[in-house]
A and B are shown apart, each in its own frame.
Chain A
């Protein structure tokens, strides 16, 4: 077994200011399928490799997401 914490890399995360926004995104039929796991009420994991697609769909849905590149 591992002796320390596990580092998960190359993830696409969605972070929202209010939990309701994440619920709204998950409920949207164009955006929901891209969200594959939730870490907290404000942070979710998107399907790998779909960051640009997600941003475009968010913009299309009327949001103005901030893209943060690591």
Chain B
């Protein structure tokens, strides 16, 4: 089924085409060039099929792969290493563009610009250079190069090729550390986690988010989610915080599209697992998700509006810049030092500026016959103009990204440096930022799990954030209601509703009470433990079984014998029923009646109101249903009769005539007799049919209502009393039976 939204990298991993199929789409010339990697100059002698065979054979041979990878340029190995570093095989094209250019390595076509009509330009030049090796393949399976008109969603590489590659480290950015204060504004991982937990909790409680025909999230659904969260922009220092977090969840694979239902639904198991992971791992995941974020942007300067739609859930230049920015932060010369945001922006420009931009990028055109010195001067002027434009547009965006999502996710610490007019914003990587963005795998110091909360006798829980491991925080958030966040603590309260939700989500009552006590700095107050046990026990008082199976036996003795012989496992219910857990193989069942999606059809309904139940398909609900609007025929187990009195009784209890007809029609094995339908409507007061009736000297039956007239015309019951039909509303009555005919017709109209 077609997806309305662009699949996240996590989802993309499950949609990768077969490499051999994609390679077969390339033309002979390109295949031969690729085959040269595997068989050398002999590739020139091969035809298309031969070249394809050589490449696919090589891709299946680990030794040949190692040899090919060893012969790759640094640029090519960097490209493959960047894909490998993600932990998967696929990457959005735009992300790879940003990261490859940040490595500042030479590649074929880096400086080539073919003029205004050049669809390739220098933006996608790096990825095209890699595509030419055949070691990465377009996810859409196309053999064409990537152009700005058809950018292609992403690329991927074979798992065996990636296994042979060691990711490379970029050279440090040319950027000077600046003096900064001892400490700045930093968001702790616990604060980020609390917000993610809150969003996950709300997404679990509300229906999935419907998608519009364009694949955008329904605005009413967003309002429904936003209200309980109560996030205000000034409180979370983030533009459209809800949009950001939803996109982040989607990019991390926690929120997934359900194409059959055209909606986005939370993957609860995945979300619970991720939110209980250690903080460094969570931060790494959020950084990766931020890089692949779609449908949200940090800032939208007016000049960009012409080129980009921030709501469009497609990879765009924003993704290229995010990838470049994160890689740049990982390539800072001193990881613990303060830097100016403007300096970071300039350093990124030096690497990618001439190729990637949010707005229109002006390329350098060398005038014909210019001397080298003139050329250098002109290039310098062009570069200075481009840098100025970058500072006004991309520089502003970078400042918004650092102060917005990067600070919000706890990756950078912010502060102001200098005084008066010389004040500038400085930043430095946090410990989590260094772990998540650094190229050398490092871990935070392992923290011994310590009791992290105190349960008060008034059911409040004071949670000490410094000591709270993610799993502990997720546990408290699951069993209690969040009340307040202040300084180093968060306040929760145990309520009956929260405990009920926790138990319904699969947590056992004993485990809940035990874990609450184990994580507490003081023993759990006895009254609290007692009340929790009581709340849990209340849940056992009523059970709603969905999709339950009931076996109906002929008698209690037969039922008990089947249970005793272990032919049926389950609970005895009433006199002769069993709520079934399982049935032994070979146990003979007489009939199976399924109650959904529609109830069994087991009735035969006559025109005069007599209802007969088919004993072979009689279900457990039919008698109680019939009792609502008909009366049992005494001495007949399967016979019921509907009359004016029984329908009027039902009407008095709130049944409408339409409901009675619909219920009866749904259970009848045939179409309801029209006369009876008409009669039920009349009995139920839905209409005054059949209207005025008169038998003049000439015996004519006149019926005011057209529908009632049709019913009379089709009626087998009235046929003997009618000699013929005179028109749409009149019948010629049989002379000797006219009194009875009028009486029967009047019974239809009686109310």
List residues of A (1-26) whose CB comes within 8 Å of B's CBs: 1-18, 21, 25
Q: Report chain B residues within 8 Å CB of A67.
A: 504, 543-544, 546
Whether B616 and A8, one on each chain, are in contact in the complex, defined by CB atoms closer than 8 angstroms, is no
Interchain nearest-CB distance for A66 vs B (Å):
5
> B587-628 toward A: CB 8 Å interface, digit per residue (1/0)?
111111111110100000000000000011001110111000
Contact A8 B590 (CB under 8 A): no
Q: Is the CB of B636 closer than 8 A to any CB of chain A?
A: no
- In the complex, which residues 207-252 of chain B have their Cβ closer than 8 Å to any Cβ of chain A? none
Q: Are A21 and B594 within 8 A (Cβ)?
A: no
* A37 interface residue (CB < 8 Å to B): yes
Is B562 engaged at the interface, CB distance under 8 Å to the other chain? yes
Chain B contact residues, majority secondary structure:
mixed
Complexed CA–CA distance, A19 and B595 (Å): 25
Is the interface on chain A under 10, 10 to 19, 20 to 34, or 35 or more residues?
35 or more
Residues of A within 8 A of B503 (CB): 66
Known: A64-B496, A66-B543. A6 touches B551 (CB 8 A): yes
Choose from B546, B575, B577, B619 the contact partner of A51 (Cβ within 8 Å): B546
Give A12 to B54 CA distance when docked, in angstroms: 62
CA distance A46 to B588 in the complex (A): 27
CA separation between A5 and B494, bound complex, in Å?
Answer: 48
The residue on A at minimum CB distance from B623 is A37
Does A8 lie within 8 Å of B543, measured CB to CB? no
Question: Do B544 and A7 touch across chains, with their CB atoms under 8 A apart?
Answer: no
Tell me if B539 and A66 are in contact (CB < 8 A).
yes
User: Is residue B129 contacting chain A, with contact meaning CB distance below 8 A?
Assistant: no
B420 near A: Cβ within 8 Å? no
Quick one: which of B538, B552, B597 contacts A6, CB cutoff 8 A? B552
Interface contact B619-A17, CB-CB below 8 Å: no
- CA of A45 to CA of B574 in the docked complex: distance in angstroms? 12
Does residue B382 face the partner (Cβ distance < 8 Å to A)?
Answer: no
Q: Which residues of A contact B619 (CB under 8 A)?
A: 8
Cβ–Cβ < 8 Å partners of B542 in chain A: 14-17, 21, 25, 58, 63-66
A37: nearest residue on chain B (CB-CB)?
B624
The contact of A9 among B541, B549, B587, B616, by CB within 8 Å, is B549
- Which residues of B from 483 to 541 have beta carbons under 8 Å from A? 496, 500, 503-504, 535, 538-541
Complex Cα spacing A2 to B591, Å? 7
* List of B residues within 8 angstroms of A51 by Cβ: 544, 546
Interface residues on B, range: 35 or more
Closest CB of chain A to B582's CB: distance in Å?
11
Chain A CB within 8 A of B276 CB: no
B425-448 near A? 1/0 per residue, CB < 8 Å: 000000000000000000000000
Q: B558's contact among A5, A42, A54, A63, by CB below 8 Å, is which? A: A5
Q: What separation, in Å, do the CA atoms of A2 and B503 have in the docked complex?
A: 42
Docked-complex contact B544 and A8, CB < 8 angstroms: no
- The one of A6, A12, A18, A66 that contacts B504, using a Cβ cutoff of 8 Å: A66
For A17, give the chain B residue with the smallest CB separation: B541
Contact of B549 among A46, A63, A65, A70 (CB under 8 A): A70
**In the complex, A3 Cα to B588 Cα: how many Å?**
8
Indicate which residue in A1, A9, A66 contacts B540 across the interface (CB closer than 8 Å): A66
A12 and B545 in contact (CB under 8 A), knowing A43-B579, A49-B596, A66-B504? yes
Q: Are B551 and A45 in contact (CB under 8 A)?
A: no
* Chain B 257-291 per-residue mask, 1 if CB under 8 angstroms from chain A, else 0: 00000000000000000000000000000000000
Structural contact, B621 and A4, CB atoms closer than 8 A: no
Point out the residues of chain B lying under 8 angstroms from A55, CB to CB: 544
List, in ascending order, chain B residues with CB within 8 A of A16's CB. Answer: 541-543
Contacting A5 at CB < 8 Å: which of B543, B552, B574? B552
The winner among B542, B551, B621, B623 for most chain A CB atoms within 10 A is B542
CA distance A43 to B548 in the complex (A): 12
- Please pick, from A40, A54, A64, the residue contacting B577 in the complex, using a CB distance under 8 A: A40
Q: For the complex, is B584 an interface residue (Cβ under 8 Å from A)?
A: no
1/0 per residue, CB under 8 A from A, across B560-588: the answer is 00100000000001110101100100011
CB neighbours (8 Å) of A36 from chain B are 621, 624-625
Task: List chain B residues, Cβ under 8 A from A7.
Answer: 549-552, 580, 583, 589, 591-593
Contact present for B552 and A8 (CB under 8 Å)? yes
CB-CB nearest in chain B for A14: B544
B553 at interface by CB-CB < 8 Å: yes
Provide the bound-state CA to CA distance between A64 and B541, in Å. Answer: 8
- Chain A to chain B contacts (Cβ below 8 Å), 20 pairs: A8-B620, A10-B594, A11-B547, A12-B545, A13-B544, A13-B545, A13-B548, A13-B579, A16-B543, A36-B624, A37-B624, A42-B573, A54-B544, A58-B544, A63-B541, A64-B496, A64-B500, A65-B543, A66-B504, A67-B543
Chain A interface residues (CB < 8 Å from chain B): 1-18, 21, 25, 36-37, 39-40, 42-43, 45-46, 48-49, 51, 54-55, 58-59, 63-70
Query: Which residues in B have some Cβ–Cβ distance to A below 8 Å?
Result: 496, 500, 503-504, 535, 538-554, 558-559, 562, 573-575, 577, 579-580, 583, 587-597, 599, 615-616, 619-621, 623-625
6 smallest CB-CB distances across A and B, nearest first, come from A2-B590, A40-B574, A4-B590, A10-B596, A13-B545, A70-B547
Task: Known pairs A8-B549, A25-B542, A69-B546; list 7 more (Cβ under 8 Å).
Answer: A2-B616, A3-B588, A5-B589, A39-B574, A40-B577, A66-B543, A67-B543
